[in-house]
């Protein structure tokens, strides 16, 4: 068995740290060098005399898709004390609607909220600022908390949703209470 001294082991670990730092620096430089300047466009670039490659349009699948916004943390719900009061969005708070309060998201943003304990999911709309207590990421209405099975506080995952999301549309249509105008004919 080979025994190394403390200095040799310390020297090896510092060499590993230097190699790691160097590789991270090189990756950063490579990414910086490959990044396009946002002010310049392909039309501004004059074609070179020796460049005879045909221009190929970039396909829509090659374009980068925007990342989805995601947040995980502790959620709570509004007490009945706030029923009927004005929200930061200007509307009256209704504890029976699927709404929430978030400190930074724009008013009207739709969120998919998932209770991480039981994996129930629902959609809510941001209409207020909050939560007031530190360490919490969202305040849900009573209806949203009841749908998620949230008693008191709990860990949730928030995801931003576009208005055109088919899951959101399906959930909203399912919530509509459309009266039956014509009863089905009995056979």
Burial class (CB in 10 A: 0-12, 13-18, 19+), 121: middle
User: What was the pLDDT predicted at 2?
Assistant: 57
Among 149, 153, 113, smallest CA distance to 133 is for: 153
Q: What's the pLDDT score for residue 166? A: 85
Residue 12: the pLDDT is 58
Per-residue pLDDT tens, the chain, 187 aa: give them: 555 555 555 555 566 666 666 666 556 555 555 554 444 444 444 444 444 444 444 444 455 556 678 999 999 998 788 899 999 989 999 999 999 999 999 999 999 999 999 999 999 999 999 887 888 999 999 999 999 999 889 999 999 988 788 888 888 777 776 655 555 666 6
Question: Residue 94, Cβ neighbours under 10 Å: how many?
Answer: 16
pTM exceeds cut of 0.75 = no
Give residue for tokens 């045909």. Answer: 54
Domains and CATH numbers, the chain: 70-175 (2.40.40.10)
Q: What pLDDT, on a 0 to 100 scale, did the predictor assign at position 46?
A: 45
């Amino acid at each position: 068995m080979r025994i190394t001294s403390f200095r040799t082991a310390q020297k090896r670990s510092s060499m590993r740290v230097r190699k790691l730092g160097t590789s991270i620096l090189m990756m950063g430089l490579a990414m910086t060098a490959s990044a396009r300047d946002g002010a310049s466009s392909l039309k501004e670039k004059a074609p070179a005399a020796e460049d005879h490659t045909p221009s190929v349009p970039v396909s829509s699948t090659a374009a980068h898709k925007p990342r989805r916004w995601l947040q995980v943390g502790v959620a709570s719900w509004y007490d009945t004390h706030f029923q009927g009061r004005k929200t930061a969005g200007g509307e009256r708070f209704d504890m029976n609607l699927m709404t929430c309060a978030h400190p930074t998201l724009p008013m009207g943003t739709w969120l998919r909220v998932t209770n991480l304990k039981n994996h129930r999911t629902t959609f809510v709309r941001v209409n207020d600022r909050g939560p007031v207590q530190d360490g919490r990421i969202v305040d849900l209405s009573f209806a949203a908390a009841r749908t998620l099975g949230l008693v008191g506080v709990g860990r949730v995952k928030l995801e931003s949703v576009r208005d055109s999301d088919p899951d959101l549309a399906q959930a909203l249509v399912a919530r509509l209470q459309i009266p039956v105008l014509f009863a089905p004919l009995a056979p």
